[in-house]
Homo-oligomer: A and B are copies of this chain.
Amino acid sequence: MKIGELAKRSGLTAHTIRYYERIGLLPYADRDRSSRRDYDPSILVWIEFLGRLKTTGMPIRDMLLYAELRDRGSGTEAERRALLERHRESVRARVDELNACLLVLDTKIGGYAETEQRMKDYDATLPERRRKPVGARSARTR
Protein backbone atom coordinates (compact mmCIF):
# COMPACT_ATOMS: atom_id res chain seq x y z
CA MET A 1 0.00 0.00 0.00
CA LYS A 2 1.40 3.39 -1.00
CA ILE A 3 1.26 6.45 1.20
CA GLY A 4 -1.69 8.01 -0.68
CA GLU A 5 -3.76 4.92 -0.14
CA LEU A 6 -2.80 4.73 3.53
CA ALA A 7 -3.70 8.40 3.90
CA LYS A 8 -7.15 7.73 2.48
CA ARG A 9 -7.72 4.72 4.69
CA SER A 10 -6.33 6.17 7.90
CA GLY A 11 -7.76 9.66 7.64
CA LEU A 12 -4.32 11.20 8.11
CA THR A 13 -2.69 13.23 5.35
CA ALA A 14 0.40 11.89 3.61
CA HIS A 15 2.24 14.84 5.15
CA THR A 16 1.21 13.80 8.62
CA ILE A 17 2.13 10.16 8.00
CA ARG A 18 5.65 11.21 6.96
CA TYR A 19 5.85 13.55 9.94
CA TYR A 20 4.85 10.72 12.29
CA GLU A 21 7.54 8.51 10.78
CA ARG A 22 10.12 11.26 11.15
CA ILE A 23 9.44 11.71 14.84
CA GLY A 24 9.24 7.96 15.48
CA LEU A 25 5.53 7.55 16.07
CA LEU A 26 5.29 5.28 13.05
CA PRO A 27 8.01 2.74 12.32
CA TYR A 28 10.34 3.44 9.41
CA ALA A 29 8.42 2.16 6.39
CA ASP A 30 10.01 -0.18 3.87
CA ARG A 31 10.63 1.50 0.51
CA ASP A 32 10.11 -0.06 -2.89
CA ARG A 33 12.84 0.04 -5.61
CA SER A 34 12.03 3.70 -6.29
CA SER A 35 12.16 4.63 -2.58
CA ARG A 36 8.42 5.00 -2.20
CA ARG A 37 7.00 3.84 1.12
CA ASP A 38 5.18 0.53 0.89
CA TYR A 39 2.89 -0.24 3.82
CA ASP A 40 1.48 -3.41 5.22
CA PRO A 41 -2.22 -2.87 6.01
CA SER A 42 -1.56 -3.91 9.62
CA ILE A 43 -0.16 -0.43 10.20
CA LEU A 44 -3.77 0.79 10.14
CA VAL A 45 -4.43 -0.86 13.50
CA TRP A 46 -1.55 1.00 15.08
CA ILE A 47 -2.58 4.29 13.50
CA GLU A 48 -6.09 3.83 14.78
CA PHE A 49 -4.84 3.24 18.30
CA LEU A 50 -2.59 6.30 18.08
CA GLY A 51 -5.73 8.18 17.09
CA ARG A 52 -7.41 7.04 20.29
CA LEU A 53 -4.48 8.27 22.34
CA LYS A 54 -4.55 11.57 20.51
CA THR A 55 -8.31 11.93 20.86
CA THR A 56 -7.98 11.41 24.58
CA GLY A 57 -5.43 14.18 24.81
CA MET A 58 -2.19 12.27 25.14
CA PRO A 59 0.70 14.52 24.07
CA ILE A 60 2.95 13.22 21.30
CA ARG A 61 5.88 12.91 23.68
CA ASP A 62 3.95 10.31 25.67
CA MET A 63 2.80 8.48 22.56
CA LEU A 64 6.49 8.29 21.66
CA LEU A 65 7.23 6.59 24.97
CA TYR A 66 4.55 4.04 24.26
CA ALA A 67 5.75 3.58 20.67
CA GLU A 68 9.29 2.95 21.89
CA LEU A 69 8.11 0.29 24.34
CA ARG A 70 6.10 -1.31 21.56
CA ASP A 71 9.15 -1.32 19.28
CA ARG A 72 11.24 -2.97 22.00
CA GLY A 73 8.62 -5.71 22.06
CA SER A 74 8.30 -8.39 24.66
CA GLY A 75 9.43 -7.57 28.16
CA THR A 76 7.86 -4.13 28.06
CA GLU A 77 4.25 -5.17 28.60
CA ALA A 78 4.16 -4.15 32.26
CA GLU A 79 5.47 -0.69 31.44
CA ARG A 80 3.05 -0.29 28.57
CA ARG A 81 0.20 -1.35 30.78
CA ALA A 82 1.25 1.08 33.51
CA LEU A 83 1.48 3.91 30.98
CA LEU A 84 -2.01 3.18 29.67
CA GLU A 85 -3.42 2.88 33.18
CA ARG A 86 -2.03 6.28 34.13
CA HIS A 87 -3.47 7.69 30.93
CA ARG A 88 -6.85 6.09 31.58
CA GLU A 89 -6.95 7.79 34.95
CA SER A 90 -6.27 11.16 33.38
CA VAL A 91 -9.03 10.57 30.82
CA ARG A 92 -11.47 9.64 33.57
CA ALA A 93 -10.55 12.79 35.44
CA ARG A 94 -11.12 14.78 32.27
CA VAL A 95 -14.55 13.24 31.78
CA ASP A 96 -15.46 14.15 35.37
CA GLU A 97 -14.23 17.68 34.79
CA LEU A 98 -16.28 18.03 31.62
CA ASN A 99 -19.37 16.67 33.36
CA ALA A 100 -18.92 19.21 36.15
CA CYS A 101 -18.71 21.97 33.55
CA LEU A 102 -21.83 20.63 31.85
CA LEU A 103 -23.77 21.20 35.08
CA VAL A 104 -22.57 24.80 35.16
CA LEU A 105 -23.59 25.23 31.53
CA ASP A 106 -27.02 23.78 32.29
CA THR A 107 -27.48 26.32 35.07
CA LYS A 108 -26.34 29.19 32.90
CA ILE A 109 -28.54 28.19 30.00
CA GLY A 110 -31.42 27.69 32.42
CA GLY A 111 -30.92 31.29 33.55
CA TYR A 112 -31.27 32.56 30.00
CA ALA A 113 -34.34 30.40 29.53
CA GLU A 114 -35.94 32.07 32.55
CA THR A 115 -35.11 35.50 31.17
CA GLU A 116 -36.81 34.61 27.91
CA GLN A 117 -39.85 33.26 29.74
CA ARG A 118 -40.19 36.46 31.75
CA MET A 119 -40.02 38.47 28.55
CA LYS A 120 -42.78 36.38 26.98
CA ASP A 121 -44.95 36.76 30.09
CA TYR A 122 -44.40 40.50 29.97
CA ASP A 123 -45.30 40.72 26.29
CA ALA A 124 -48.50 38.78 27.01
CA THR A 125 -49.67 41.51 29.40
CA LEU A 126 -49.53 44.13 26.64
CA PRO A 127 -52.57 44.97 24.48
CA GLU A 128 -52.72 42.88 21.30
CA ARG A 129 -51.48 45.54 18.85
CA ARG A 130 -48.38 46.42 20.95
CA ARG A 131 -46.94 42.94 21.16
CA LYS A 132 -43.58 42.33 19.52
CA PRO A 133 -43.74 40.41 16.25
CA VAL A 134 -42.63 36.78 16.68
CA GLY A 135 -38.87 36.50 16.18
CA ALA A 136 -38.30 40.20 16.81
CA ARG A 137 -34.89 41.16 18.12
CA SER A 138 -33.62 44.32 19.71
CA ALA A 139 -32.27 46.91 17.28
CA ARG A 140 -28.63 46.47 18.32
CA THR A 141 -28.70 42.72 17.81
CA ARG A 142 -28.45 43.18 14.02
Residue numbers of A with Cβ under 8 A of B are 49, 52, 55-56, 72, 74-81, 84-85, 87-88, 91-92, 94-95, 97-99, 101-102, 104-106, 108-109, 112-113, 115-116, 137-141
Contact = CB atoms under 8 A, between A and B. Distances in A.
Contacts of A116: 77-78, 81
Contacts of A108: 49, 84
A55 B97 contact: yes
Nearest to A138: B75
Contacts of A98: 55-56, 91, 94-95, 98
A104 B137 CA distance: 47
Contact of A113 (B56, B81, B102): B81
